[in-house]
Amino acid sequence: MKVLIPTPLRSYTNEREVDAEGATLAAVLADLDRRYPGLRFRMIDEQDRMRAHVRFFVNGVQTFDLTHPLGPADSVQIVQALSGGSCGRRQ
Amino acid sequence: MAKPLPQQCPATFRKAQPAAAKTGHIGPTIFRSTDLGKTRKEAAKPPAFAKAPEGEKGRAVDHTFWLTPAHADEPNVWYAGTSPQGLFRTEDGGVTWEPFSIVSDDPQFRAWMGSVQDGTPDGPKMHSIIVDPRDPSHLYFVMSSGGVHETTDKGRTWTPLVEGLSVVEGFDAANLVSHDPHCVRLCATNPGRLYQQNHCGIYRLDRPGTRWDRIGKAMPAEIGDIGFTMVVHPRDDNTCWVLPMDGGTVWPRISLQGKPSVFVTRDGGQSWRKVANGLPKQRAWWTVKRQAMAADAESPVGLYFGTTSGELWSSRDEGRKWETMARHLPEIYAVETATPA
């Protein structure tokens, strides 16, 4: 399946979109780590928790569940969540 | 001046130098360079805590804060201190890192580490990991907060080393979580002598003694002896430099009245002298963090410090005259000197 990689992690893949396999989101992330060593730990901590500023979407719908089932026709989008900034008036 | 003893294998003489990385948005890692930073390769297994048993909330490394090369007899070994506080070791030049000793998960150490409120604003720090150049089994590490700790058997057992250290008024000095040592340095020519810049004073400890002597009491009263960083002379165990923050407040982050000054002692802390020629005379509202000051091994010694406002300052004559080497950098966390082979 296709996986969209966020800009801060493209130093691992050198591509915006890559292929990965797996029956769950966890399996896909493990496959990505095999293909691009070190990539998973930047997104998932040693307690298997999603890091605070990394978000996962399956077919455009956000999920917080690493056991989320996936099929070959699904697509995964990994997004860097931004935080901070100002609540001030927009120009 | 004494002839230097055999040193820890200097980082610049090692095949690989590790550097900690954290972007703020993705998880922490360590990169290794074998060409003095021209290219870097990521560690295969960066420092990480053990997976917690089912149902328990385990800790996750937020960032690696400190890196120390081990003894010269262990050229591929480095130690790392993290935030939240943990102690790690690599034996392959930084490719894979494992928890070292009992420190990261021991209940007593975890209690001394306290909660996130007991550390600095960007997380409690494990730092000042020091290897005795005479003995690879003799190590120190320091927790902010949590005190100074020593092992003489390569981490099998540890002993706290906080006697004589002050804590913030109202806190219990008998509880190690109250202790906030900011920076501990070992003298290159006399590994039996340690200096310390603490949240509550400047200290010296001569081993095998165990009681720290508050040499900061000899600092000018209006300056006080609070700060973050401290460097020792590479060849003279009586000489060290500090850059104090405003000692008139409890949690200072700037020098008194925005007028930063370096102070030097040449007599082991019995007296201090201001060396500030060239430093800003006013409105310098910056902090110099605990890792952001360094000395080289030249004669006279070159001194360097970086500021939270992104200025790098240097002195080529042991602090007599200061000048800026670089401006408009990002916030400077750490400064190290290196001598390419």
Average pLDDT, chain B: 92
Structure confidence at residue A6 as a pLDDT band (50, 70, 90):
very high
Q: What pLDDT digit, counting tens, does each position of B250-281 carry?
A: 788 889 899 999 999 999 999 999 999 999 99
Distance from CA of B147 to the nearest CA of A (A): 27
pLDDT at B9: 40
Q: How far is B24 from chain A (nearest CA, A)?
A: 8
- Mean pLDDT of all residues in A74-85: 83
Cβ distance B46 to A41 less than 8 Å, yes or no, reads yes
With contacts defined as CB-CB under 8 Å, which chain B residues touch A53? 24-26
**What residue ranges do the domains of chain A occupy?**
2-80
Q: What domains does chain B contain, in order, with CATH numbers?
A: 11-48+60-288 (2.130.10.10)
Q: State how far residue B115 is from chain A, nearest Cα, in angstroms.
A: 18
Write phi, then psi, for A39 (nearest 5 degrees). Answer: -65, -40
Under CATH, to which class is A2-80 assigned?
Answer: alpha beta
Give residue-wise pLDDT tens across range B141-198: 999 999 999 999 999 999 999 999 999 999 999 999 999 999 999 999 999 999 999 9
What ipTM score was computed for the predicted complex, to two decimals? 0.85
Q: Are A38 and B29 inside 8 Å of each other by CB? A: yes
Cβ <8 Å between B50 and A80: no
Regions of chain B where pLDDT drops below 70? 1-13, 340-341
- Pairs across A and B, CB distance < 8 A: 52
* Contact call for A53 and B44, based on CB within 8 A: no
pLDDT per position as a tens digit, A30-79 = 999 999 999 999 999 999 999 989 999 999 999 999 999 999 899 999 99
Q: What is the pLDDT of residue B8?
A: 42
Name the pLDDT band for A84 (thresholds 50, 70, 90): low
